[in-house]
Amino acid sequence: MIMIILILYSLLAGLIAHTGVFIHGEWHLKARKIVAAHLILGAAAYLLLDNFSNSPYGSGYQMAVSFISYFVSLFTSMTVYRLLFHAIVSFPGPKLAAVTKLWHVFHITDSRNFIFMDKIYEKYGTFVRTGPNEITIFHPAAIQLLDGWNNKNTKDTWYDIMQPRSSAIFTRDENDHRERRKPWVKSLATKPMDSLRPRLAGLAQTLSECISKYDGEPIVVNDIMTWFSFDAMWEVVFGQDFNLMKTRGGHPIIRHRDNAFALLGPVYVADWIAHLGFDFVPFYGKVRDWFHMVAFCDEHMKMCITTKEKHDRHHLASWFIDEYRNLKGKWDPEARERLLSGTAVSAVLAGSDTTRASLIVTWWYLCKYTEHANKIRSELIDADVADANVLARLPHLNGVINETLRLVPPALTGAGRITGPSGLLVDDVLIPPNTRVTAPKYTIHRLEAAFQYPDEFIPERWYSRPELIRDKRAFAPFSVGSRQCVGKGLAYVELRMVTAILAKNYNVRFAPGYNPDSMWREMRDQVTAQPGPLVCIFEAREGRASC
């Protein structure tokens, strides 16, 4: 009899836990508390059973049955609610996706979420339920509606990934975002950018010289673009040359960063899994790499604090340090440290990886369609490749860059938003309030409703054939509105300079024996785009340019 009573009470407890507790609010940052609470309650129940139960069954057996009953009730209640009573139950989508995000994680363990979401769109259409409380929107206006000016949406739980650290990028509070964004905007305004452009031109020249040392031998373009992007990031953020291109060597921070991205790739659609890793297995390989990367960024930011007054070169860290010091007396010391740390990590991650992928893919297309490289060279005959303003006016160069960003945006799918109190109206479809919404850029950039011949590489659509663009709202590789990437202008400068100087200095082709399909086949969606291998031959041209 006592066993039946225990089972009934456990079933009731599971039902109450769901309908009275877990159905309300957010729980992704409370894993430790949830586990601790269940362990404490379980231990207390075990002691009570051990002292007062006269059951012929052992107290351990009774506890096991009780816990199983509790969890069966809890998850059954969740499943029934999500399948039958949830506010978004009317939206089409896979049934298991409505039950748990683990279904989604299971399907993208290969970090190919951009392809998986493309297939979801082909099967289910414009609005798809891809999670218990998640709608994915495949619509030309989706990115504008999620991030455009005056939107009422907020950032989703992904932006808590660095908690307790924060930054302009990784904060969910809109007022805090506006304040924390100011140093970024000031550091990349017109005057600071004037001092950065010549230094970036110098790094583009260093890249060209690095390539020349291979003397026509096959080059893994992924490697050299990694070296360039990291050297450029370090110059912009810390005012120092990391010297990867000169040494043609790796650095532990690159391995740590790559492993951290590989960790997040399959689980960023269910970020609570990453938090479980951070909380309970910080010693695990890729989780440990995440913390090594954070520690490395912290170390160099602290070095900048001690050398700031001696440094006469503009760099972003100087603005972040000024913010850190200006908050003295307004924020407690621990909060200031967390902000500075989060800002350092954000700058390193965003700055070292965004242009890397775009440069790799750009040269894949220029090797595949050599006529476009020749058109760029024609534009560069009388152009100064070190002058960013001149390069910004070259139509085909910019057409190639924009077309690359359209076909392979830096963030292939992107993070999500939470709809505001009034929900989100897309055409005549109302998405309820407090619903997570996503807009996968890879698929939206290739919608036939937005672009004619959407899967084809046609740079001319951006200047001489505008009729090929049906809905320009769909193109947002750096997002839009107040959430637009503050480094967008800097990224374009890097992309133009590197593409221009390499096009002018080299004839580039795929290396013998290289399979061009491998770049696409092995591309990964790990927060940012991670292209598969690209191996090319760079043959020096006469009259090479220098920056």
Q: How far apart, in whole angstroms, are the C-alpha atoms of residue 351 and residue 343? A: 12
Mean pLDDT over the full length of the chain: 93
Parallel/antiparallel/unpaired status of strands 134-137 and 436-438: parallel
Q: Is the CB of residue 257 less than 8 Å from the CB of residue 250?
A: no
Q: Is the CB of residue 315 less than 8 Å from the CB of residue 236?
A: yes
Q: How distant, in Å, are the alpha carbons of 27, 160, 171, 338 from that of 164?
A: 15, 8, 10, 7
Collapsing DSSP to helix, strand or coil, 451 comes out as strand
Collapsing DSSP to helix, strand or coil, 219 comes out as strand
Q: Is the CB of residue 378 less than 8 Å from the CB of residue 363?
A: no
pTM of the model: 0.94
Band (543; pLDDT cuts 50, 70, 90): low
Q: Looking at residue 46, what is its pLDDT?
A: 79
Cis peptide before 440 (omega within 30 of 0): no
Q: How far apart, in whole angstroms, are the C-alpha atoms of residue 494 and residue 62? A: 65
Collapsing DSSP to helix, strand or coil, 64 comes out as helix
Tens of pLDDT, residues 269-316: 999 999 999 999 999 889 999 999 999 999 989 888 887 555 556 789
Q: In percent, how much of the chain has pLDDT > 90?
A: 82
Q: Looking at residue 416, what is its pLDDT?
A: 95
The string of DSSP letters for 314-350 reads: --HHHHHHHHHHHTBTTB-HHHHHHHHHHHHHHHHHH
Q: How far apart, in whole angstroms, are the C-alpha atoms of residue 481 and residue 489? A: 14
Both tokens of residue 474?
Answer: 């769909």
Q: How far apart, in whole angstroms, are the C-alpha atoms of residue 297 and residue 292? A: 9
Q: Is the CB of residue 273 less than 8 Å from the CB of residue 267?
A: yes
Q: How far apart, in whole angstroms, are the C-alpha atoms of residue 261 and residue 265? A: 6
Tens of pLDDT, residues 423-436: 999 999 999 999 99
Both tokens of residue 254?
Answer: 């690159």
Collapsing DSSP to helix, strand or coil, 443 comes out as helix
Q: How far apart, in whole angstroms, are the C-alpha atoms of residue 18 and residue 30? A: 15
The string of DSSP letters for 421-441 reads: TT-EEETTEEEPTT-EEE--H
Q: Looking at residue 473, what is its pLDDT?
A: 97
Tens of pLDDT, residues 61-77: 888 888 999 999 999 99
Band (349; pLDDT cuts 50, 70, 90): confident
Q: Looking at residue 499, what is its pLDDT?
A: 98
Q: Identity (one letter) of the amino acid at 75? A: F
